[in-house]
Amino acid sequence: MRVSLPILPIVDQPAEESGPLDQPQRPRLPEWLRVNLPSGNSLAVFNKTQDAVDSNALHTVCEEARCPNIHDCWARGTATFMVAGSHCTRGCRFCSVETLKSPDPPDPSEPSQLATAVERMGLSHVVITVVNRDDLPDGGASHYKHCVEAVHDRLPEVTIELLSSDLQGDWEALTHLLEDSPLSVFAHNVECVPRLDSLVRDPRASFELSTRVLKKAHQLRPDLLTKSSVMVGLGESDAEVSAAMRQLREASVDLITLGQYLAPGRAGERFLPVDRFVTPKQFSAWSEEARKLGFKAVASGPLVRSSFQAGSLLAEARQQ
């Protein structure tokens, strides 16, 4: 699956105001989208996190998707791991993960290496996200499950969240993935409002399929919390965001995150340009609306990503 809400790293400095006349200018970022780099003890923790990732030859969505929260999260000793390789079989126009029709087979040692990294980092909650593996008979479900089980077997007290692909709507693969799985949260992102599917996502993905996957997951494992994420700033209206939230609740989704899209590279044929910068006030309004719709936990803000403060959202939802 294409990982949600990628963005270029943003530091506390203005965007470029000028450049070659024949090249489109990157829009100036509003103040609320700028972040600071870690220093002091936070920098030491950041380096420790990076070492745990690198020494186990793992991939993270933090790096691959160029997430702006990498400095904050890694400085807190948290990371979102990406399994099943560093290449995706789909080509969404919001994502920086490279696309290959036939990536290398999943590394059989990855589950053990993942468990080792989680142990070294001392995590209490781990988010495991995946790349789409349409080239595999089960869409990668068996490998995803091995990764989840390896972490649980090594660290049974750690809660686990899986940000899964849509598995091409293969209910047998989804059933295998979820059967007796020690997950706490099953997540799958709709990414954008339905009208923008064909513009934003790979042709094999759709809002309709994603909501069916989420609803089926709830039916298979009603004891698990389900979660999804929506990007804004792609050309949607506020009303469309509200409608998308209602559809997610109708699919029995428990947790939702909403965040600002920014192109992970120069906008053009591959990456979509930013349509608008949504204000913190509007994100706050959507948060209130989502809670009124019945979501058990909500994260809504300019720098929010699908794995943003995932452990806190789980804790909040369990208090409902």
**Distances from the Cα of 144 to the Cα of 40, 116, 124, 140, 173, angstroms:** 36, 16, 20, 6, 11
* pLDDT at residue 23 in the model: 46
Burial class (CB in 10 A: 0-12, 13-18, 19+), 146: middle
Q: Which residues in the chain land under pLDDT 50?
A: 1-24, 42, 57, 61-65, 71, 74-77
| CATH number attached to the domain at 35-318 | 3.20.20.70
* pLDDT at residue 8 in the model: 37
| Cα angle 299, 223, 229; round to 5 | 25
Taking the C-alpha atoms of residue 87 and residue 100, their distance in angstroms, rounded to an integer, is 6
- SS3 label, residue 140: coil
The count of other CB atoms within 10 Å of the CB of residue 88 is 26
Could you identify the residue written with the tokens 């809504």? 300
* pLDDT at residue 54 in the model: 58
Taking the C-alpha atoms of residue 238 and residue 234, their distance in angstroms, rounded to an integer, is 11
* pLDDT at residue 25 in the model: 53
* pLDDT at residue 208 in the model: 98
* Residues 6 or more apart whose Cβ sits within 8 Å of residue 247: 194, 207, 211
* pLDDT at residue 139 in the model: 97
Taking the C-alpha atoms of residue 26 and residue 20, their distance in angstroms, rounded to an integer, is 12
* pLDDT at residue 262 in the model: 87
Residues 155-199: tens digit of each pLDDT:
999 999 999 999 999 999 999 999 999 999 999 999 999 999 999
* pLDDT at residue 10 in the model: 40
* pLDDT at residue 124 in the model: 85
